[in-house]
Chains A and B, each alone.
Chain A
Amino acid sequence: MSSGIEALVNREYAYGFVTDVETDTVPPGLNEDIIRTISAKKNEPEFMLEWRLKAYRRWLTMKEPHWGNVRYPAIDYNSLVYYSAPKSVKPLQSLDEVDPELLRTYEKLGISLNEQKMLSGVAVDAIFDSVSVGTTMRTELSKHGIIFCSFGEAVQNHPELVEKYLGTVVPHSDNFFAALNAAVFSDGSFAYVPKGVKCPMELSTYFRINSKNTGQFERTLIIADEGASVSYLEGCTAPKRDENQLHAAVVELIALDNATVKYSTVQNWYAGDAQGKGGIYNFVTKRGKAAGVNSKISWTQVETGSAITWKYPSVILQGDNSVGEFYSVAVVNRKQQADTGTKMIHIGKNTKSTIVSKGISAGEGNNSYRGLVRVLPKAENARNYTQCDSMLIGNKCGAHTFPYIEVQNNTATLEHEASTSKIGEDQIFYCKQRGVSAEHAVSMIVSGFCREVFKELPMEFAVEAQQLLGITLEGSVG
């Protein structure tokens, strides 16, 4: 069995290349001047600068957290570059105006900013380093009154919405990395779906880390107004780098009365080489607020990349009858580390949350699930179902689970199921005996293990996940 697993585990990162684009950067280091420079470069209104500075001052008083089950050398925040944008950025009307070097990069990645995605009904807002360089399908969306643009554009064109919702789910003071993000974030995505509108297509963004030593601080804000619904896809691949790169993004989701937000991620950043050198540090704060009655926030993530992943997409179930979901696949191999999970905070009555976590550990990878289910005193009849399964491939890897439960209302119903299994030699042999190669056998068994999560992914992403994971998707014929 080992040959197949090793091949799968040790496959060279296919997206490790660097694009040569002139970038406009600020000097390394962080201080109030840098923040003022970023804000000025982005031509931001006063409230944004104030917010950034408030966050920065708060950040200075905070300590980098170390409670995660991950190990990494100290990060020197003063050696990072906090702003980098492709130089030739001006509003673009068509793909012809996009830097051809960039387009080639996307092509190599198999990302089509072009017709394919448009025809398949996906509006693509591609983020290259930190600034959005192209947005498609905006006209179609604007017919429905939907705003989908870069964060920077939203600040310029819809400052009232930004001011109203920014930081309402993840406050500027939330945690060390979120505060840092609030101080220096350069761009990200913004979506607003107005009352009663069901977004007619999947909204999608590709993130890509490129400039050397540039911390990537994305900020995404998605709002579904009363009765609205939206599904958002985030996908990422990054070129190969020798130095570790910090990625500290913040994502805020808001669902008002009867609204639904579904957020799906396939994360495939560079994980470092076989010796564990290089790779992305992915320290992300993702949180949704199911603010209104009958609202719903759903997270689906497939995490395969990064040297270190540290993220807990969470839901605050504030509205009565609101629903929170978290479906996760986290794969680690070589020397990758992942500490990921979710928090479900039940505040409203009859709130319901579902957690399905599938951790796969191979090589010398370490995978931890960390989850918190909290039921506050007023949350009558709260319900949670948690299922947490780990699969081990080989015997140098690790799987850990840290489920925390805090219940302050005795009408709550909580169910927890957990399992740990080794990928079966007998399963692999059975597949091989039927003529299936070891590599295909492993990916088939692993994707079978992840099936409950994969089936939550939108179709477009299902294909993406398949390519990126090298894992065959849930297998059903006809």
Chain B
Amino acid sequence: MLEINDLHAGIGDREILRGITLRVKAGEIHAVMGPNGSGKSTLAQVLAGNPSYEVTRGTVSYNGQNLLEMAPEVRAQNGVFLAFQYPVEIPGVSNAYFLRSAYNEIRKANGQEEVDPLEFLDLVEEKLKLVDMDESLLSRSVNHGFSGGEKKRNEIFQMAVLSPRLAILDETDSGLDIDALRIVAEGVNKLRSPENATIVVTHYQRLLNYIVPDYVHVLANGRIVKSGGKELALELEEKGYDWLQEAGAGAVA
């Protein structure tokens, strides 16, 4: 589904991703871990098409298409979803309206008919239950004045409504209480299917107890310095990142 090859990207003169190669197949869950500032969010943003980052080298193909040539909204319309580490506030625009616009634009792009507000409400109510989110958040402005946890839950709620093919969750677990963590993880698991894939960026092994990954990758200094199965997460929990970072630094030199 997703093939990342020797991806280099940065901002201005600063290179942040320094050669990422990663293959994600349909049906898989990949966890990406790594110390602060190692480039995890950058990778997520570049995959989603954030224009602040410049790709300087490498290729990304998504279902056989050149992902890097697609506009961000086209990526979304083709099933790429990013749950932001820092969800953005849009004052004055109701959450429900925002999400319906997104839902309908995606449908339109895929040659499907738009749904009217009432039909949409039915769909939304079902998904609200899935992530146990309070209905009152629907009529509030997008993320505006939401608590940290509410924002994260809202991301997963949006994901549930838009049902993407490739979901990238950037530290969706940070800021969630234990119950919320479980609920969010359940949400992700329910959406899991042989056609979909998920990349989970996290700092905590804890989340991976709920969302069991097929692969774990460790990012350090803009490179994947180690990949492994779900046991790798446990090892990291025990040993920290230092031993790997040295390896990463060594690889640069």
Contact = CB atoms under 8 A, between A and B. Distances in A.
Contacts of B99: 434
A122 B13 CA distance: 61
Given A425-B52, A429-B88, 18 more contacts: A429-B50, A431-B90, A433-B72, A433-B75, A434-B99, A435-B76, A436-B102, A437-B73, A444-B98, A444-B101, A447-B93, A448-B91, A448-B93, A451-B93, A452-B92, A472-B101, A477-B97, A477-B120
Interface string B26-54: 00000000000000000000001111100
A308 interface: no
Contacts of B245: none
A476 B94 contact: yes
Contacts of A433: 48-49, 72-73, 75-76, 81-82, 84
Contact of A436 (B51, B82, B84, B105): B105
Nearest to B138: A477
Name the 8 nearest CB pairs between A and B, nearest first. Answer: A475-B97, A448-B92, A448-B93, A451-B92, A434-B102, A435-B76, A477-B96, A430-B88
B98 A427 contact: no
B249 interface: no
Contact of A434 (B49, B91, B109, B158): B158
B111 to A, nearest CB: 14
Given A427-B88, A445-B90, A475 B98 contact: yes
B22 to A, nearest CB: 20
A448 B76 contact: no
B182 to A, nearest CB: 26
A435 B106 contact: yes
Given A434-B162, A475-B98, A448 B88 contact: no
B178 interface: no
Contact of B102 (A427, A429, A435, A450): A435
B88 A475 contact: no
A477 B88 contact: no
* Interface of chain B, main secondary structure: helix
Contact of B92 (A1, A430, A447): A447
Q: Which of A425, A430, A447 counts the most chain B CB atoms within 10 A?
A: A430
A447 B94 CA distance: 11
A133 B121 CA distance: 46
A475 B101 contact: yes
B77 interface: yes
Interface in A343-378: none
* Interface of chain A, main secondary structure: helix
Contact of B72 (A424, A426, A432, A475): A432
A444 B82 contact: no
A472 B102 CA distance: 14
B247 interface: no
Given A429-B51, A434-B158, A435-B109, A475 B93 contact: yes
Contacts, number: 105
A434 B50 contact: no
A185 to B, nearest CB: 39
B136 to A, nearest CB: 13
B76 A427 contact: no
Nearest to A473: B97
A449 B101 CA distance: 17
A434 B76 contact: yes
20 contacts: A429-B52, A429-B88, A431-B90, A432-B73, A433-B49, A433-B72, A433-B75, A434-B99, A434-B158, A435-B103, A435-B105, A435-B109, A438-B73, A444-B90, A447-B93, A450-B92, A451-B91, A451-B92, A451-B93, A478-B118
A474 interface: yes
Contacts of B100: 477
A429 B90 CA distance: 12
A437 B72 CA distance: 9
Interface string A437-458: 1101000110111111000000
Q: Which of B91, B93, B102 counts the most chain A CB atoms within 10 A?
A: B93
Q: Which of A426, A433, A437, A445 counts the most chain B CB atoms within 10 A?
A: A433
A445 B77 CA distance: 20
Interface residues of A, number: 30
Contacts of A448: 90-93, 141
B189 interface: no
B149 interface: no
Contacts of A452: 92
Contacts of A432: 49, 71-73, 76
B139 A476 contact: yes
Q: Which of A435, A440, A452 counts the most chain B CB atoms within 10 A?
A: A435
B58 interface: no
B92 A474 contact: yes
Contacts of A434: 76, 98-99, 102, 158, 162
Contacts of B73: 432-433, 435-438
Contacts of B141: 448
Contacts of A438: 73
A282 B162 CA distance: 46
Contacts of A431: 90, 98, 102
A478 B96 contact: yes
B87 interface: yes
B90 A435 contact: no
Interface string A132-161: 000000000000000000000000000000
A42 B215 CA distance: 86
B118 A429 contact: no
A3 B49 CA distance: 15
B117 interface: yes
A392 to B, nearest CB: 15
Contacts of A450: 92
Interface in B113-149: 117-118, 120-121, 138-139, 141
B161 to A, nearest CB: 10
Interface in A42-72: none
B105 A477 contact: no
A431 B72 CA distance: 9
Contacts of A426: 88
Contacts of B71: 432
A391 to B, nearest CB: 11
A99 B138 CA distance: 50
Contact of A477 (B89, B106, B121): B121
Nearest to B116: A477
A436 B48 CA distance: 13
Nearest to B168: A433
A356 to B, nearest CB: 12
A478 B87 contact: no
A430 B90 contact: yes
Contacts of B97: 444, 475-477
